[in-house]
Chains A and B, each alone.
Chain A
Amino acid sequence: MSTTSLKNTVVALLLCGCISSIQAATITWKVLIGPKNAGTVAWQTSSPSASGSLSASGKITFNAGAFVDLTFNANPGFTLTLVTKNADNITASLDSKHHFRFGPVDSPHTIGVLFSGSGGGTGSVDVPTGAFGFAFPSSSSTLAPVFDISGNYSGVTPTATKRNYNFDVAMDEFGKVSTMGTLTGVTNADGSSLLSADIGAIKTVDNKPTNFFKTKFKGTADGKPVAGSADGSGPVPTTVTNGVAVVAGTGSYKGTLDGVKYANDNVPVQAPLSVVQTKNLSKAWNIQISILNEATGSKSKPVASAQLTLPSGDVISFAKKTAKYSSTKGYSLSFKSGTNISRSPAAKDKSSVQITGMTFSKSGTTWTVTGGTITYKFLGQNGSGNLNEFLKN
């Protein structure tokens, strides 16, 4: 194996779970694969010797972009039940020897491996474990969407002057928006055609993502001096018809144009976005949660980790932490103070997702989420809803 592009990180086998006094029928491993750890690989697994084993143990190193071969072998008394990749069920993709080739690996993956059986547990409490994926249902009309609006917005203004505009929008992790672009015939105070505004934001109001902005401007329009300020707000369009959304809102402005004062308050504004512009409005996000039983001495306790993929495409990783579980109330999980692993170097992140009352049913060895409440807050926006609406099919 070539290691020229590697940092040859030695990745220790992390034992993070085992057969426990509260675990009878299922054993879940968590395997982490990806170039995040210095471009090599890692996995962590719960006591594979008790329930099964991997064809390789302890450490694997490989080039980022390479393929990784893993084989999962169940020990006597256990059966390999489920293998997931980032919460997607890939069990059917394993060959008859329970082998799977992952890759090419160019981003982090979480592999969940679920064994079922009776190998040693006492059966006192059956704690749900496994990998569970939840995705925001984009078609929902009741849940508050979280939008990322970064992208390019170009066209011709629907005004008498029909000016060409080219505006690029960058939205940060707090929903703060910066725009830059041009409007034909308009210059800034320096005489440059480059126009910018850095005082906009998207936040949730009345369960709707709402755009707020304020700007001051001084320059020229068709050679005439213009100065003024404008502010406004309006919901980010949530309805798309034939690929096109309509921006609507209310604006106020005042200033002077060629020596003439102007002002208006509460002007209704609406404008259709082109198909291309509408595609910039991204609201797809998902969270992949992995719950394991982790051994601490002779006992074990459930721990949960998660990976949140934002509408912006950023991936936020939440390290494992103890999960609160009650057989009557289910899990109560709180994911915050994560790490944005899309940034290089990775950076702290303020996104948060909380799940309460996450209950399960069990059929055979398969746990299925039956209810709960999810509360989410990121990109300066927030919302909450019934967890069932977020279940991936």
Chain B
Amino acid sequence: MRRLKYGLMIGFAAILAVGIAERLNSRPLETSKSTWSQKLKDAAQNKLQQHLRERAENANFATSMNTAEMIAGLFDERVEATERYRHAYRLAKSGSPEAIEALKRYFKQASSSEKAAIAQLMGAWGNAEHKPWLWPLLEDPELDVRLGAIRALSSIGGDDVVERWDRAIRGDQASDAEKVAMIEGLGTIRSPFAYRVVMAQINARSDVRFTSALLDSLSRFPFTPETEQYFRNWDAAAGTPLEQRVAAMTSLAHSDERAVPFLLDTARTSTQWAVRAEAAWALSAQTVPHLADSLVELAASERNEIVRRRLLEAIVPQTDTPIEPLYGILVHEEDEAVRVAVFNALGAAAGRQPDQAQRFDDEAVPELLRLAVSENPVNLRMRAVFALRRAHTPGALEALGTIAGVKDERVAIAAAHGLSPD
């Protein structure tokens, strides 16, 4: 049987940021998980949202098919897999009785991975009506299906789900994989009840796997002073293994901008270079005013080259690039990877500010060209190409033209993409 493939997207960030939204035609933002007042507000706006959403749908998901035709397409193995996936998604989104019935019918003949995907689709719109159908899937003999049901129920949320997860995580019936999925689900639900469960669990656990999942879940809640204190205590505790200290910083890449001061402080004061480096890495997920100044300041006094690199890489997404201090760092910096990080930040600035183009061409391009055509590792060479592409200055384009002819195909193609960006 030709399996339905859930062709959706390449898993890269930019495509996800834009592509998923238009591809899947998401449900309206449901901030209602946190407060009832928000739910009421959403309900009041529902009609307008529906209108706007359908207008967007028409632009991006134009189809003349009715529900019956989409159901037929879902079961028609001659139809392209990606199109059948679109049918499944549209049917799940529509939520009509016949659409849901069709998906459930397809579910019965599907593989375990397809079942898991359909279960997740059923939960993706947060429709609590699907809970009775999903609960029994938690007992399915296939782990994939159980995981899909856990994710679906977590998407729908509710105290009943939190209570169930709490019991299961404490118990010994669920597998470790299920428990981790439930812990992650608590971070999806993000209700006060879910927060209490996460905090209770995190204080009761010591193994790396669960602790990492709990920290990741915790980071998805608003970064409150209480959360910050928890992370501080975690890092300060003498018995916390280095691996878990690092995992705590990794998880904060998911946090909101209120975590920035804590991350900066950690990047400045932690005695472990790996913790400082990971805090700096997490900062690159944030874009807040004047963050770049702090990052450059930290980098200028940081002795570990890996931490310096991470701090400077975090500048790239920022829009207020401190150009002079960055060129100042180049005067003394000897580590090639750190220099490439600086060049990427400067390249981004040159791309935004035409008055910086000449200087970039004079002071950065020759070194970047040398690096990109050298025998250095592909990672370093690719990032040198990235810096040139960000700048997109005359000198950078000329260099990209040269690099496009190098032997290593990956580097050459990356350079060629910079010459014809569209």
Contacts and interface: CB of A to CB of B under 8 A. Distances in A.
A263 B377 contact: no
Given A193-B422, A267-B120, A221 B18 contact: yes
B28 A252 contact: no
B282 to A, nearest CB: 8
Contacts of B62: 160
B147 to A, nearest CB: 9
Interface in A162-199: 163-174, 176, 178-184, 186, 189-190, 192-199
B16 A190 contact: no
Interface stretch (A38-46, A77-85, A120-128, A151-159): A151-159
A362 interface: no
A184 B421 CA distance: 9
B16 A152 contact: no
B188 A266 contact: yes
Interface in B156-188: 176-177, 185, 188
B10 A312 contact: no
Nearest to B188: A265
A347 B422 contact: no
Contact of A167 (B12, B82, B125, B316): B12
Interface string B9-37: 11111111111111111111110000000
A269 interface: yes
A255 B374 contact: no
- Interface-central residue, A190, A197, A216, A255, by most chain B CB under 10 Å: A197
The number of chain A residues touching the other chain, given as a range, is 35 or more
A272 interface: yes
Interface residues of B, number: 96
B244 interface: no
Interface stretch (B66-74, B223-231, B385-393): B385-393
A161 interface: yes
Interface stretch (A227-235, A298-306, A323-331): A227-235
Contacts of B380: 343
Contacts of B82: 158
Contacts of B8: 158-159, 269-271
B5 A260 contact: no
A344 B334 CA distance: 11
B13 A270 contact: no
B378 A313 contact: yes
B214 interface: no
Interface stretch (B52-60, B289-297, B361-369): B52-60
B26 A234 contact: no
A264 B27 contact: yes
A196 B306 CA distance: 21
A247 to B, nearest CB: 5
Contacts of B351: 190, 192, 194
B215 interface: no
A250 B12 contact: no
Contacts of B154: 265-266
B323 interface: no
Given A165-B15, A261-B28, A180 B389 contact: yes
B123 interface: yes
A251 interface: yes
A217 interface: yes
B122 to A, nearest CB: 11
Contact of A344 (B23, B52, B116, B375): B375
B19 A159 contact: yes
A347 B336 contact: yes
23 contacts: A168-B385, A168-B417, A170-B378, A172-B383, A180-B389, A183-B14, A183-B19, A197-B12, A197-B14, A199-B281, A199-B285, A200-B13, A247-B11, A250-B120, A257-B21, A258-B52, A260-B52, A260-B53, A262-B29, A270-B8, A312-B377, A343-B377, A343-B380
